Amino acid sequence: MNHRFLHQSRGWAAGLLACSLGLFALGAQASDDPPGRVGRLADMKGQVWLLEGGQGEWQTATRNRPVTTGDRLATDRDARVEVQIGSTTVRLGESADLEVARLDDERIELMLHDGAASMSLREPEVARELQLTTPEGRYQPRTPGLFRVDRGQRGSFAAAISGEIDFESRDSQLTVRTGQRAEFWIDPADQRTHYSWASMPNDEFQQWVRRDEQRDERYAARRPVSPEMTGAEDLEGNGQWSQHPEYGALWYPTTVAVGWAPYRYGRWAWVRPWGWTWVDDAPWGFAPFHYGRWVHWGGRWGWAPGTYVRRPVYAPAMVGWIGGANLSLSLQIGGGRGGPPVGWVPLAPREVYYPQYRHSNVYIQQVNVTHIHVKQKIVEAPGRPVMYTNRGVPGGVTVVSSDVLTQRQSVGNAARPADDVVMRAVRNERNLTNVAPPVPANASQAPRVPHAAGAVAAPARPSIDRPRVSTLNGDEGRGPRPGPERRTETGAGLGAAAGAGDEGRAAAARPMPERRADSPTVAPTPARPAVPRPPVSQAVPRDERVQREGRPQRDERIQREERPAREPAVVPMQRRDAVEPHGQAAPRAVPAPQAVPQAVPREERQERKQREREAKREGHRESRRDGATGMN
């Protein structure tokens, strides 16, 4: 029996080892997969610049270009840009500079170097995954909502138009709630964080944000696709939805020219880590070219999003690449002076998308799950004859010289054979083979690695329009923010943030709330935290609780009467000497009650009032005695 047990134990150990190796191999393969979530350059006005991660110079940003880890966006004066990331929208005002430190399936980490940025979040899950960092600290939404952060020379402002957002720095934390706006800066003398309440913004940028928000909310409930499909917002107003008896929902574009065909009016761009990426010219041209399939039905092209998926996986272009010797002999482009011909065809439902970049079997399944279930990894070998459904319809196959790709030329303006000529050339399966597109010189498909925002200095942008200094509450170019000696804010500026006024004034006068001992330490430009930080709660000093729960009118009157006339609007916070490292268990420490500066203790106030009452009684007695003496 011992021998049998030993034999079974060895079998179990071998099985566990095989499972462990399999899981390790699966994890290693998945690490090679590109992210399934990307951003998209949507609405733009004026000069917008893009610095692609790993590149050394700025380039003019174009609409519908994907945005991912390592990219950086900047706007000139009187310019603005909108970035869509699934259901989340990030907007930049003029003279802004935003860096994408990380953008993948797990996190969205942004770094605002200058200017104004608004964030519109509609999903609680995404709100927990997003953070925006400035040199003063990081902002983490607690709930979905509309938020705005302004960054300038003297510090940063955070406003919660709706929802709640946490601010956290090395030594402090504060929650900004709906209708509040706070200003944060670091005193150069002691390197402590200071804050004060400010009035809500109502400039041209904010008005543009509100108009866009109303439009998106109006269209959100009318889309039969997931809100996490980047670019789906622009389908409304540019097309119509219909129902196909076999493929389900179909979307037909209504703002196209006669004879229009997909993947023909735009250009190819090389974007790491995917490689060749389609950038369409149409304002709505993102979602239909990176998700789903195309169907030629009823004499026109329709886009089929396929089965509903909560988070569909992005692809650079849902096409099949074709070429080969037979195609080169059949089609001569430009008199044969250009490069060899290369062609592509939009994939139809039930056709597998084969990436030209590194991927795992899990990625193949996820990127095709909306239209077909791939049970095993299939590699499309170059030179293998292929058959595509859309090859036999007008506009189904587009063939151009390979120079059009490598020189980033517009496909719509490039020389290409007529559709009837192409259809005759590819009608035979033997003439249609799978051929990988040419790779440009010095091209790379290396993965985008998340990094600490601001770790690498960005090169200077071309001097088309020198960005002006960002304006924050009218303070333009006045140098760094002073410390406790700064001027006293007006009552309107302090109370407008809280709505009711009393809570806002009390908060503006008390010290900055301290960080709890169990909160992680945050650097001014932090890297991605290894473990999600615990929820942040705002500590309320004891005196303020007495005001709310006891006799607020009486206590508040005493504080106003006996408060010095030159009281500073903010007070340096009390730093803790030691904070437990992030990730280690620590006892929950509650900050010591912070009294309002220069306030008289409650016992002394009661004793003073008692003396005043005794003096008044004694005065009444003396008056009665004097009156009685006069009568006698």
pLDDT in tens, 228-264: 999 998 998 899 999 999 999 999 999 898 889 999 9
**Rounded to whole angstroms, how far apart are CA atoms 302 and 1?**
69
Burial class (CB in 10 A: 0-12, 13-18, 19+), 570: buried
- Confidence at 217, pLDDT banded by 50, 70, 90: low
Residue, of 623 and 284, whose pLDDT is higher: 284
**Rounded to whole angstroms, how far apart are CA atoms 147 and 158?**
7
Q: What is the pLDDT of residue 463?
A: 59
Q: What is the pLDDT of residue 325?
A: 62
**Rounded to whole angstroms, how far apart are CA atoms 172 and 182?**
14
- H-helix or E-strand spanning residue 17: helix 2-31
Strands 72-75 and 48-51: antiparallel
* DSSP code for 292: S
- Worst-scoring range by mean pLDDT, 23-27, 237-241, 298-302? 23-27
Burial class (CB in 10 A: 0-12, 13-18, 19+), 617: exposed
Whether residue 54 has pLDDT greater than 60: yes
**Rounded to whole angstroms, how far apart are CA atoms 523 and 186?**
13
Residue, of 610 and 105, whose pLDDT is higher: 105
Q: 248: which strand partners? A: 244
Whether residue 293 has pLDDT greater than 60: yes
Closest CA to 42 of 78, 95, 84: 84
Whether residue 64 has pLDDT greater than 50: yes
Average pLDDT of span 219-236: 83
User: What angle separates helix 2-31 from helix 361-368, to the nearest 10 degrees?
Assistant: 60
Q: Which of the given ranges, 7-21, 244-258, 610-624, has the highest pLDDT on average?
A: 244-258
Q: What is the pLDDT of residue 579?
A: 32
Closest CA to 503 of 540, 458, 452: 540
- Collect all residues with Cβ–Cβ distance below 8 Å to 80 and sequence separation of at least 6: 43, 44, 45, 46, 48, 91, 92, 93, 94, 205, 208
Residue, of 425 and 31, whose pLDDT is higher: 425
DSSP string spanning 572-623?
A: -----S--PPTTS------PPP-PPTTPPPHHHHHHHHHHHHHHHHHHHHHH
- H-helix or E-strand spanning residue 628: helix 602-631
pTM over 0.85: no
Tens-digit pLDDT profile for residues 164-188: 999 999 998 999 999 999 999 999 9
Average pLDDT of span 159-163: 97
Length of the chain: 632
Q: What is the pLDDT of residue 356?
A: 87
What is the maximum alpha-carbon separation in the chain? 137
**Rounded to whole angstroms, how far apart are CA atoms 170 and 193?**
8
